[in-house]
């Protein structure tokens, strides 16, 4: 008898307070491999706080977070990354003066020989270039020059590099915070295609966005937060787009 599948991520009755502000009030949700879960809500709904709890920036006050059914406690973002959770924030956190490969492996450089202390090893620049080029090629990201600093690249190319970097290290979950914000139509389309590829390769993708067209087009499920509470969950399509908007603004009736 096979065991029942478990979500790659479970957020269970999570509360988070900042002084008198109760930012999250008993939020629960699941994310599964091979799906895009849209996390929706107006400004101040609790989306960013929830993401920061999942990615190790904030500790939860009550409730728990589970990965593959096992309770986890992250005291820093680096611990969440080691567990397979990668987050791409709106500012992308790219170093403008570095190349794509240098951005990919900044703080996680490949080095040799492995038996030496890390500070005494030699950097494996060719290996890092090779691995980065392989990911960029697999995700069909077009770059003007692979050895150019990212400051010389377009907004869409920079966004694609940030998302591609997350895929290198994310073994479980990729969280994308407004990945098409401030992008033109053509560049947004490339990023949406990249998100589809992440899903098709078996990743769990959590997508924060205010663009309802993108939600309808991409998301397998949508969870709506309002004032720190989960107020709804459904499979988005064009027939219930108005219902989603009503939940976001609090006009269900």
Burial of 195 (0-12, 13-18, 19+ CB in 10 A): buried
Any idea which fold 9-249 has? Rossmann fold (3.40.50)
Q: What are the φ and ψ backbone dihedral angles of 227, each rounded to 5 degrees?
A: 55, 40
Q: What are the φ and ψ backbone dihedral angles of 219, each rounded to 5 degrees?
A: -75, 135
What's the sign of the alpha-carbon dihedral 145, 150, 155, 159? positive
User: 8 and 203 in contact (C-beta within 8 Å)?
Assistant: no
Sequential DSSP letters for 185-237? HHHHHHHHHHHHHHHHTT-EEEEE-S-HHHHHHH-SEEEEEETTEEEEEE---
Q: Judging by DSSP bridges, how do beta strands 85-88 and 111-112 pair with one another?
A: unpaired
pLDDT at 218: 93
In the predicted model, is pLDDT for residue 71 greater than 60?
A: yes
155-167 pLDDT, tens per residue? 888 888 888 888 7
Tokens 């090893």 map to which residue? Answer: 121
Q: What is the pTM of this model?
A: 0.85
Q: Which of 11-15, 47-51, 143-147, 152-156 has the lowest mean pLDDT?
A: 143-147
pLDDT at 239: 85
Where in the chain are the domains? Answer: 9-249
């Amino acid at each position: 008898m096979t065991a029942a599948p478990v979500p790659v991520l479970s957020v269970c009755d999570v509360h988070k307070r900042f002084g008198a502000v109760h930012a999250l009030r008993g939020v629960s949700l699941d994310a599964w491999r091979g799906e895009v879960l849209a996390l929706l809500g107006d400004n101040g709904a609790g989306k960013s706080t929830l993401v920061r709890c999942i990615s190790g920036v904030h500790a939860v006050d009550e409730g728990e977070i589970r990965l593959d059914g096992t309770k986890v406690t992250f005291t820093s973002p680096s611990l969440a990354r080691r567990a397979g959770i990668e987050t791409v924030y709106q500012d992308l956190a790219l170093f403008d003066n570095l190349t794509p490969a240098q951005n990919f492996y900044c703080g996680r450089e490949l080095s040799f020989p492995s038996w030496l202390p890390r500070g005494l090893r030699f950097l494996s620049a060719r290996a890092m270039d090779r691995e980065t080029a392989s990911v960029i090629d697999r995700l069909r990201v077009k770059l003007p020059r692979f050895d150019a600093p990212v400051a010389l690249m377009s907004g869409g190319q920079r966004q694609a590099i940030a998302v591609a970097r997350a895929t290198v290290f994310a073994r479980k979950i990729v969280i994308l915070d407004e990945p098409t914000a401030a992008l033109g139509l053509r560049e947004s389309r490339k990023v949406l295609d990249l998100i589809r590829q992440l899903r098709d390769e078996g990743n769990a993708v959590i997508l924060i966005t205010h663009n309802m067209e993108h939600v309808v087009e991409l998301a397998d499920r949508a969870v709506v937060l309002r004032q720190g509470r989960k107020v709804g969950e459904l499979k988005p399509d064009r027939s219930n787009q108005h219902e989603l908007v009503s939940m976001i603004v609090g006009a269900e009736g």
